[in-house]
Chain A
């Protein structure tokens, strides 16, 4: 289910990704089904993590797929993996969604939404895929995790994180770097 390069041999993953990119470039609509099967769990997981509502996450994913299809010409395989690119499209759409006025007005009428308790309870069922997540987050200390979450799921810049957490910018940069280092080490 997961498009995890850590579990599939890198070369094989690349080969299928290349093929997929080629088919998408040729406007092969059937390739989008393969795209969905390959990436939806990861894309949906991140979108859900940002918007916190299943129905909205689904809308954002669909919107993202339309955008990916239409702007596929701007994807440059030399600059990075397809996964990285599509994940950024999804993340940006999801972040735009939670920053939109409409969304915030809707959320404000439900203050409980913002409570930490609810955020934790957002997992309605046990999801075995999350064992990997727990394993991973154990490797990050809470400060690192908080910063990576704000950067990755909140769409904050490092300066904005510094302001939000009342930390010197240098500290934020050091922690962010250290956290991302930890993450990349976990793959090997």
Chain B
């Protein structure tokens, strides 16, 4: 086979990815040993894939180092080292298999006479088996519990995540809408400045004369007294028209609020009213006012 064709056949990639079987691997290794171009190509592929792996490195969770190294040590002390002939980079290297007992049944029978220390050994073996079985059952039970707990935790996490996503989506939609208002030329800005009662108070109304929509953006407002709430009024030919009460997040300036639609207005003002608002403004509590 032409070397270039061999390189392009994709077999080197499969080799590096470890998906070739035992029969296919030596052939690739032989070709690489014979042809420097193939060797170079294979090295390059391997480097590329190693780099890909390294780029995915993440810091393991805290405490993992002790757990993994501890678990590893325990595991290797339980299973003694056995010579393995697992081929390199195999898709799934076979587990080391303990040498099988002699196949001939006769041999087994012959070596287990009935009346000698062997029977005590048998009894001991049975006891050990029972103990192991019980241990295994206990282990299964513990693992099962852990599995259940993990599943429950996962479910909670997933519920929480979807709830969080929904909240975030809603918040995002709201921000989008606010941004549309702020960018829309049809909205006229009305600065509401503090009255002598609250000289630092500041708010801004966005009014769309065409759609009649009113948005309110609070910059700074003193906290309303206990049991009171801010209410926005539109002044149309000197007559106050209720434009709605301010949500607490609006009053603190955390969000922009859409107020009631107003057919026509020349000015806007805010007063402090009992919770739920009033039918007509309490003029003595007027906090901010501004003309269009």
A1 touches B87 (CB 8 A): no
A92 touches B93 (CB 8 A): yes
A155 touches B76 (CB 8 A): no
Instruction: Assess whether B83 is interfacial by the CB under 8 Å rule.
Output: yes
Complex Cα spacing A158 to B9, Å: 11
Count A-side interface residues using an 8 Å CB cutoff: 78
From the candidates B54, B76, B150, name the one contacting A42 in the complex (CB within 8 A).
Answer: B54
A7-40 residues with Cβ-Cβ distance < 8 A to B are 27, 29, 32-33, 36-37, 40
From the candidates B17, B85, B96, B154, name the one contacting A110 in the complex (CB within 8 A).
Answer: B154
Chain A interface mostly? helix
A184 touches B96 (CB 8 A): no
- Give the nearest-CB partner of A158 in chain B: B10
Give the tally of cross-chain contacts (CB within 8 A).
Answer: 188
Q: Which stretch in B62-70, B199-207, B229-237 binds the other chain?
A: B62-70
Count B-side interface residues using an 8 Å CB cutoff: 61
A74 touches B55 (CB 8 A): no
B89 touches A184 (CB 8 A): no
A184 touches B44 (CB 8 A): yes
Complex Cα spacing A96 to B51, Å: 23
Q: Which residues of B contact A (CB under 8 A)?
A: 8-10, 13-14, 16-19, 29, 44-61, 64-65, 67-69, 71-73, 75-76, 79, 81-93, 96, 150-151, 154-155, 158, 161-162, 165
Q: Which residues of A contact B (CB under 8 A)?
A: 1-6, 27, 29, 32-33, 36-37, 40-42, 44-46, 48-49, 54-55, 58, 61-62, 65-67, 69-71, 73-76, 79-81, 83-85, 87-89, 91-92, 96, 106, 109-110, 112, 117-118, 121, 127, 129-130, 132-133, 136, 148, 151-152, 155-158, 173, 176-177, 180-187
